[in-house]
Chains A and B, each alone.
Chain A
């Protein structure tokens, strides 16, 4: 495992270990004080570190491609997605100290104006906008993979998953669209795009996963595998929010489900770290050669 990726996952493990202490305190006492402080302070800091790392690495990866290379655009879009996610976290942290994960279902009530608050703007930038950039980037990657015949055909399991994802997306839209007559704010309507965009990302992730299986366990394939993992975890987190808002999860399970966003952030940061490792591998070797001469 490359050093940078190892550090990301060590940081995640340490962070989750602290989080489990806070969760244990919540289970024993039934109070949110320690858990709230953990998510407010350490959680926000962790998100900032991870999104900033992802953004920097994606920009570096983009810089290693020339302007006429197709992957430059893909990495540019991925860098934009990371930057949007970082901006979203910062906007939410600065505006009112709201947690970066979340309970945006409460905010899907009709509002006046373009955006209800700076926090909602942060959610739009870090949510649908970031997803749209990532979807464009992955579409470009799929195009390149198809050129090399790396995108395999879908299995029955893939097709079943696709059907489930599309059905969920359509059901969410059918819930949201009747609210249009209440004249919701632009921000609220943009947040409704989260589920369809996440579905699109899942479709792309399934196709990318097929190509990763065809390639094996190299650094580049692990990079795209990490994006797949991050998208799947984000979908799981989204499903947990939906289940929680419909009263399907207990209080403790809801609190536990919040931790999933840290894993998603670590997976998003690991993806460009793998690409960085693959490219720097060739440079390291050439540097060693020069030093030997």
Chain B
């Protein structure tokens, strides 16, 4: 179709030729996979953010925070966590990744994240 043809009113009124089949069974997919996927995503997002309001932190979250603190001390120094923790937030992958990426580079930060999340 030419570019000018797209301005024809008939083009916009036309029904799409490919429509979803009514017989697609979404329920079958959600039952097995989506719950599992949701659980996994929640787990990783908790590890990634570690929000301050969550008082009962899991062992895995605790481990990630400890490892991140150790890496930050090795790379930047003992005071940098206080500078980044301005609003009273816990150190997490989400809060520490920007500074690691800025000073070590994206590739090194990826390796570092892999190291932090090892065996979790």
Contact partners of A149 in chain B: CB under 8 A: 83, 86
Contact partners of B106 in chain A: CB under 8 A: 65-66, 69
Q: Does A159 contact B (CB under 8 A)?
A: no
Q: Which of A29-37, A120-128, A173-181, A212-220 contacts its partner?
A: A212-220
**Most chain A Cβ neighbours within 10 Å, of B73, B77, B98, B115:** B77
Please report the C-alpha to C-alpha distance between residue A148 and residue B101 in the assembled complex, in whole angstroms. Answer: 12
Please report the C-alpha to C-alpha distance between residue A64 and residue B73 in the assembled complex, in whole angstroms. Answer: 21
Given A149-B86, A150-B83, A283-B111, A278 contacting B75 (CB threshold 8 A)? yes
Nearest-neighbour CB distance to chain A for B26, whole angstroms, equals 39
Residues in B86-111 with C-beta less than 8 Å from chain A: 86, 98-99, 101-109, 111
Q: Does A285 contact B (CB under 8 A)?
A: yes
Instruction: Establish whether residues B112 and A218, one from each chain, have CB atoms under 8 Å apart when the complex forms.
Output: no
Please report the C-alpha to C-alpha distance between residue A257 and residue B110 in the assembled complex, in whole angstroms. Answer: 46
Instruction: Pick from A64, A71, A282, A289: contact of B102, CB below 8 A.
Output: A71
| Interface SS of A by simple majority | helix
Contact partners of B22 in chain A: CB under 8 A: none
Please report the C-alpha to C-alpha distance between residue A149 and residue B83 in the assembled complex, in whole angstroms. Answer: 7
Please report the C-alpha to C-alpha distance between residue A70 and residue B118 in the assembled complex, in whole angstroms. Answer: 29
Instruction: Pick from A215, A217, A219, A285: contact of B115, CB below 8 A.
Output: A285
Nearest-neighbour CB distance to chain A for B117, whole angstroms, equals 11
Given A221-B76, A286-B114, A289-B118, A214 contacting B83 (CB threshold 8 A)? yes
Q: Does A147 contact B (CB under 8 A)?
A: yes
Nearest-neighbour CB distance to chain A for B76, whole angstroms, equals 4
Instruction: Establish whether residues A147 and B102, one from each chain, have CB atoms under 8 Å apart when the complex forms.
Output: yes
Nearest-neighbour CB distance to chain B for A281, whole angstroms, equals 7
Q: Does A260 contact B (CB under 8 A)?
A: no
Please report the C-alpha to C-alpha distance between residue A279 and residue B106 in the assembled complex, in whole angstroms. Answer: 11
Q: Does B74 contact A (CB under 8 A)?
A: yes
Contact partners of A65 in chain B: CB under 8 A: 105-106
Closest to B104 in A: A279
Please report the C-alpha to C-alpha distance between residue A10 and residue B108 in the assembled complex, in whole angstroms. Answer: 29
Number of interface residues of B (CB under 8 A): 28
Closest to B115 in A: A285
Contact partners of B79 in chain A: CB under 8 A: 213-216
Instruction: Pick from B75, B78, B83, B99: contact of A219, CB below 8 A.
Output: B75
Nearest-neighbour CB distance to chain A for B98, whole angstroms, equals 7
B-contact 0/1 string along A199-229, CB 8 Å cutoff = 0000000000000111111111100000000
Residues in A274-292 with C-beta less than 8 Å from chain B: 278-279, 281-283, 285-286, 289
Closest to A283 in B: B111
Given A215-B79, A289-B115, A220 contacting B73 (CB threshold 8 A)? no
Contact partners of B103 in chain A: CB under 8 A: 71, 144, 220, 278
Please report the C-alpha to C-alpha distance between residue A71 and residue B100 in the assembled complex, in whole angstroms. Answer: 11
Closest to B99 in A: A148
Contact partners of B109 in chain A: CB under 8 A: 282
Residues in A244-293 with C-beta less than 8 Å from chain B: 278-279, 281-283, 285-286, 289
Residues in B3-47 with C-beta less than 8 Å from chain A: none
Q: Does B60 contact A (CB under 8 A)?
A: no
Please report the C-alpha to C-alpha distance between residue A30 and residue B43 in the assembled complex, in whole angstroms. Answer: 76
Please report the C-alpha to C-alpha distance between residue A221 and residue B73 in the assembled complex, in whole angstroms. Answer: 10
Contacts A/B (CB < 8 Å), 9 sampled: A64-B104, A148-B83, A214-B80, A216-B79, A216-B80, A217-B77, A218-B73, A221-B80, A282-B104
8 closest cross-chain pairs (CB), A and B: A216-B77, A218-B77, A218-B76, A216-B78, A215-B77, A282-B111, A216-B79, A65-B105
